[in-house]
Structures are given as C-alpha cells and as structure tokens.
Structure 1
Amino acid sequence: MTTPYERFKALANARDVLVAIQADRRLSPMLRSRADSVLPGYPEDRYFERLVNDNEIGLPQEVAASLSECSSLLHAVAAELRSRSSSELSKNLDRVMRHLPDVGEIDHLRTLRLRANLVAHYAGGISAWIATQDPASAGVRRIVPEISSMSPDMTIDGSGGS
C-alpha cells in the first residue's frame, strides 16, 4: 500500500522523470514530444505542499488533467523501455510509477473536487492522499481514523454519534 508521503515523493519525482524523458534520444520522438507538452503544466512541488497545507478536497481540473497525462505517458515509456536493457531512466521510472496514482484514482479525485462531495475516505482532505513529511520520521499522527476502525455510530472526527 502506498503511504501519502510515498505518493508525494512520486508526484514530486515525476517532474524529474519527465525532464529525463525529454532528453533521452533513445525514446521515440512521439514520447519525447508528449513529455514536452506535459511538463509545462505539471505542478511544482510547492503546489502539492500548498494543497496539503490548505487541506484541499479533491484535485482541481487542470492538475488532475496534467497528472493523468503524466501517468499515461509514464506507462507508455515503461512499455517502450521494457524491450531494452536497464537504464537510469528505467530505474527512476520504476521508482516513480510504484507510488504514482493511476488515471482512475486521479479521475476520482477530479470528480470529488468537481462535485464537492465528501466521501468518508477523503474526509480528511488532500492530506489524507499526499503528505509532505514521512509520518514515521516526523512523529506525525493520523487525526482521521481509518475507515476500517470506525464503528457504525462513529462520526468522521472519531467521536461517538450524537
């Protein structure tokens, strides 16, 4: 299972992988061109940090679109690299893709944002999905209880019902 911090690191490192794709002449021109078009709209690390600090619900349309394009591109690059020997790009790609959200998860967060519909799993805001610090090293504790640990009469804040 991917932790929110692992997902943050994957989202942040995806930008470096996009830059590497642009520069790798062994990749097809089509894939390098796709990286050229995805990179300008791909959020900077500080944007993800702001989402966490503001505890946003879901993802804005333009961010979700950029993440979906990036995820699709990385899968296409991985497919092309499978036929070749291992390279530094291939290793970095594997590390990022291990925790990068897939298009379905990104679309779910886009829909959540558009509908402003609070689903219990995301009731803690975007910080339940990505985190800028590793909880194990930062001593951060989880405020919102896991869904599996909630009893039917429990409210989202973990207290008993009224």
Structure 2
Amino acid sequence: MRKLFKKAIGIKCMVIGLAITIAAPVSAAVPGDFKGSGGYPTPNFSLRNFNYNDTWEPPMDRGIVEWNNTPTLVRIGTSSSSPNTVVAQQFSYAAYGYYYNWTHTDKDFEIELNSRTISNDATNIQNFIQSAMTHELGHALWLADNPSSTSSIMHYDNNFNVNYKPFQFDINNVNTKFPPS
C-alpha cells in the first residue's frame, strides 16, 4: 500500500511539474519569447496598422521591410482589419518582447515590444527596435529562439544594437518551412 501511495504521489508530482514547466515563461534573460502553439500558417500575413511616434514607428516598419526583402515567400503587410497586432509600451517583464499566438489555431497573434527594457538597454535605439521587431516577426514565421547559432536574429544573445536584419540562417529556416516554388 505504501509503495502504491509513493508511486501515485510521484506521478502526481511529475504531472504538476510538467504543468508548471509548460505554463512557466521562458527565462526573462532572452531578448524575446514565443508563447503559443506556433507561427502563422503562411508566410503572407498582415498586421493591424500601428501608430507610434517617430522614434518607434520607422524601425518597426523597417523590421517588416527586412523580412519582405529576403529571398523567401514572406509578404507582410498592414491592414486596419488585421487580427494580428503589435503593441509597443512599457511592460513589467524583463524580455524585450513577446510573440503571443492567441487562438492556438495558428491564425491570430500579438507582438509586444517592451519599450522599458529596449530603452534601458539600447545604445542605438533605432537598430534595437528594428531588431526586436524582426526577431518577434521571426516567431510568426515559425522560428524559435535559437541558443546555438550566433548568425541568427533569433539568437538568445544577439546584439540588438548592431544586428537588426534576418541572417541567412533565418532565411534558410523560413524557406524550409515555406519552400519557394
């Protein structure tokens, strides 16, 4: 009986541990995070029009342009009716941004850019904002945070002050997910 009780407690602890692991956010040390079941189902999507000041909007727009200029099928536009949103404001978390897949059906998402952490860590604010935007759009294109390749916009320790465009590594991964015809 005692052995059976220990086994039941062990299984219960394992299930609780798994639930905590799944629900817990990734370490705040990473520049961005991916929360949801995956990226967008196609490399063509729109973002709801956003309207920020002259410090924020141009580099956010350039993050979109950088993906559109890659040799991929990526075509990101803007539309007032898009369900996909970008929010730039001060958040209490320590990451530079988050990608949230809200519906878990891979159709609607939100990108958050944390103006508090970006402003605190940026030595080149324009590059940093563009890099954070490019990074979070990478999640919409099914790219995960990448701890291994330093030649990736998705790398954990990417220098967002200097690196603000998708690398060839990122382009190759998007082309693997969405092969050109």
Give the TM-score taking structure 1 as reference length: 0.27
Q: More helix by proportion, 1 or 2?
A: 1
Give the TM-score taking structure 2 as reference length: 0.25
Which structure has the higher relative contact order (CA within 8 Å, separation 6+)? 1
Q: More strand by proportion, 1 or 2?
A: 2
